[in-house]
Amino acid sequence: MINADKPQLWKADVAKSVKLYNEWFLRFAPRAYQKTRMGSIDQVRKAFGVTSNLRLIDSRTLSSHPTIISTLRMATSPPLARDRLAGLAEVGKNLLASLEEGRLPPRTAHKDLQYQLSRICEVINPLLDRELFPWLLNRKKQKRMDRTVAVSVVADRLSGVVADPVIRNAQEQHQLEKIGLYLSKLGYKKVNPATIGDPFRLKPGTFTFRLNLKVGADDKIKLPIDAVVQPISSVEGSLPVLIEAKSAGDYTNTNKRRKEEATKNRQLREKYGSKMQLILFLRGYFDVGYLGYEAAEGLDWVWEHRIEDLRQAGI
């Protein structure tokens, strides 16, 4: 074992991991949010323009400009999550996802699509935040300052939703870069995952990122693995080391999702045997409760602040 059998170190490692995450967040998050916010302001302005400042929200407008749905969800009081809007309008979540991507479902008949878009508009229109958009009240004359403030507020709401996945993706990318740099310094060579037919035929001293492994009955389940490494000292055909990059900005989320790693580990071992090694690469808010659970499930981990522990996995 690397760290799972050393509970006397867990609290100190948790504190170091939290400190490392916080330092990264304070450097990266403000820039990411500002960049996201600028894009959101442009998006909201365009939505206000095509809807005559929210006076014209109907199926025709939504059909011609499907991406405005993201802005419209943030223009209501309260702002509506995608699932909530789908439930209120009694439409599929896939429809809303398609609209946000800027496309209309090609397999839905025109009449049915227009009906569903109308249902969405029927939910949004009465929920528009009229305190924020006073020109919608009694057809009051719109003031430039009112519109400027409204655009800014809706953009902030939208940015809060968009920035979170941007930061999560940046967390994972940062961790993979850290792993890649460490492996390169040890003499490992990175290979393109698209060129790998069988991950168990990786040549010794090579690694790849984001590779799918098939598990389950008839190999119908594809498990994405963040990093797959074939140790330099191994022989061709040996089991590679699998690494799952995990980064978290709070304790609540990790404890909610801790079963996911255990399930993935179990599926891998059922398919490839008990010697299959899945290692968690941790940075952030992983408390002793999370660590104890994963250790009990047979998982081990390496902390980002002590990446050299990967050597204990044979790397």
Q: Residue written as tokens 């609209």?
A: 99
Cα end-to-end span (Å), the chain: 14
3-state secondary structure of 206: strand
Model confidence pLDDT, tens digit, residues 95-116: 999 999 999 998 889 999 999 9
Q: Which domains does the chain have, with CATH numbers?
A: 7-26+168-313 (3.40.1350.10), 33-163 (no CATH)
Over range 292-304, report the average pLDDT: 95
The per-type count for the chain, helices as H runs and strands as E runs, is 9, 6
Over range 82-94, report the average pLDDT: 95
Residue 37 has pLDDT above 80, yes or no: yes
Of the spans 72-76, 162-166, 257-261, which averages the highest pLDDT?
72-76
Main-chain dihedrals φ then ψ at residue 295, nearest 5 degrees? -65, -40
| Residue 102 φ/ψ region, left for φ over 0, alpha for ψ in the -120 to 50 degree band, beta for the rest | left
Question: Cα–Cα distance between 238 and 11 in angstroms, integer?
Answer: 35
Residue 54 has pLDDT above 90, yes or no: yes
Taking a C-beta distance cutoff of 8 angstroms, is the pair 263, 297 a contact?
A: no
Over range 210-215, report the average pLDDT: 90
Q: Would the pTM of this model clear 0.85, i.e. be above it? A: no
